[in-house]
Amino acid sequence: MTRSKALCEAMEADDDWLKREVLSHAGNRWSFGVIHALKVGGRLRHAEIRRHLEGVTQRMLTRTLRQLERDGLILRYDFKEVPPRVEYELTPLGEGMLLQIIPMWLWIFEHAEDFRQARQRGEGSNSQKDNH
């Protein structure tokens, strides 16, 4: 607990945006999916990444790739060819994030029913408060 308190105090208020944006990758299934696909597949093209992510739109994938590149989690290689050829690769920073995210995701999945039950209990108590 001492370490977590020190971490909270070390991050300045100006860094709040950074924490939120980086943590948003951890909770976003498309960001997590891209990072995972690049870890498993190595350097991949846009279409190859999209095949790994069932249901992602081209627009969402492009947006996700730009955000991950902006934050240094992936690298973009533009070969300046016709037709265009662009590939993406996971950076060491991205790989480190993936290794940290996996235990958190596993913990969430293992406790998903606990969260559902807690929310149901909370919704029940909120509706009882509304009636009084």
Q: Convert the pLDDT of each residue in 63-103 to its tens digit.
A: 999 999 999 999 999 999 998 899 999 999 999 999 988 88
Partner residues linked to 59 by β-bridges: none
Share of the chain above pLDDT 90, in %: 56
Predicted local confidence at residue 13, as pLDDT:
64
**C-alpha span between 93 and 71 (Å, rounded):** 9
Mean pLDDT, residues 8-19 taken together: 70
One-letter amino acid identity for 99?
A: L
Domain that holds residue 53: 2-131
**C-alpha span between 37 and 93 (Å, rounded):** 15
Predicted local confidence at residue 14, as pLDDT:
62
Overall domain count for the chain: 1
What CATH number is attached to the domain comprising 39? Answer: 1.10.10.10
Q: Is residue 38 a contact partner of residue 94, using CB atoms and an 8 Å limit?
A: yes
- Looking at per-residue confidence, does 20 or 29 come out higher? 29
